[in-house]
Amino acid sequence: MSDQDKLRIRIQKFLAEVGVASRRSVEEMILEGRVSVNRKLVASLPCFVDPQVDDIRVDGRRIRPILGGAKKYVLLNKPRGVVCTQKDPAGRPCAVDLVPDLGSRIYCVGRLDVESTGIILLTDDGDLTQRLTHPSYGVVKTYVVTVDGRLSAEQIAELKAGTYLDGKRTKPTAVKVLRKSPTQSLLEIRLSEGRNREIRRVLARLGHKVRRLRRVAIGPITDKGLKIGHFRLLRPTEIAKLRKIGQDSTVKKGRSAAKRKSVRKDGDGR
């Protein structure tokens, strides 16, 4: 066996490792004629590739190997019943179990409770995790929520203004009524902080039980085209956008702090 042949691996293994899909899903993609190697459709299995040399494409998009040491960024559309911890004592499935081994340990950025669905980012980038989860950065997460009953104008106003949880006022919230009927309402809620089960607890205080809760966006990253239970790697442009959110927030905080310091200094001089 030549050195070149030693570098070749099964195409299902490669595409699973870089986060395209599970090995079984890759096999289905091949049967559907969606996978090509060096501009030729993969017609049968087994198929062995050298990711460093071969032009491997899925739906026409070039799939490149993950460079050693590079940070990993995975977007998962979490199903109901899955927890966002590394391990669960109760034996429930964990979000990290739905993503193949990418060569380094990745962690959920923030949380979605076990009953909720929607997108969650998994990464080994601690700096970005801090920027996306710390409330001081104000990264907006968007949710679509189905609740029992119809909210009054006063209740909508209270949601928008913020209310008290655990003795501390929540930040103002953007709320839009997408649809309503005599028995249920469909809401879009945008939060810039994420306390434990905040949406469910606030709506329960207002007398409206949450029936379904789905996170559809984290900042500029949405669930478009990503089915529940599926995942994909973030594109470089998306990673750059998330980093820019943190950078912009840092600049704003710095300006605000400088302004407060200037006001205090002026006040002391009077």
Hey, do 3-62 and 69-138+220-237 end up sharing a CATH topology, with the first three levels equal? Answer: no
The whole-number pLDDT of residue 135 equals 75
Q: List the structure tokens of 194.
A: 């994420």
- Does the domain at 140-218 match CATH 3.40.640.10? Answer given as no
pLDDT band at 268 (very low <50, low <70, confident <90, very high): very low
The whole-number pLDDT of residue 8 equals 84
DSSP-H helix ranges across the chain: 3-6, 11-17, 23-31, 126-133, 153-161, 198-205, 236-268
Collapsing DSSP to helix, strand or coil, 83 comes out as strand
The whole-number pLDDT of residue 104 equals 75
Each residue of 213-236: pLDDT tens digit? 999 999 999 999 999 999 999 988
- Mean pLDDT value of segment 125-154: 88
Can you identify the CATH homologous superfamily of domain 3-62? Answer: RNA-binding S4 domain (3.10.290.10)
Q: Is 105 exposed, middle or buried (0-12, 13-18, 19+ CB in 10 A)?
A: exposed
pLDDT band at 66 (very low <50, low <70, confident <90, very high): low
Q: List the structure tokens of 187.
A: 């809401």
**What residues act catalytically?**
113
Tell me which residue has tokens 């609740």: 147
**How far, in Å, are 22, 104, 111, 144, 238 from residue 101 at the CA level?**
11, 7, 21, 31, 22
Determine the topology of domain 69-138+220-237 in CATH. Alpha-Beta Plaits (3.30.70)
Domain ranges in the chain are 3-62, 69-138+220-237, 140-218
pLDDT band at 196 (very low <50, low <70, confident <90, very high): confident
Model confidence at 176: pLDDT above 70: yes
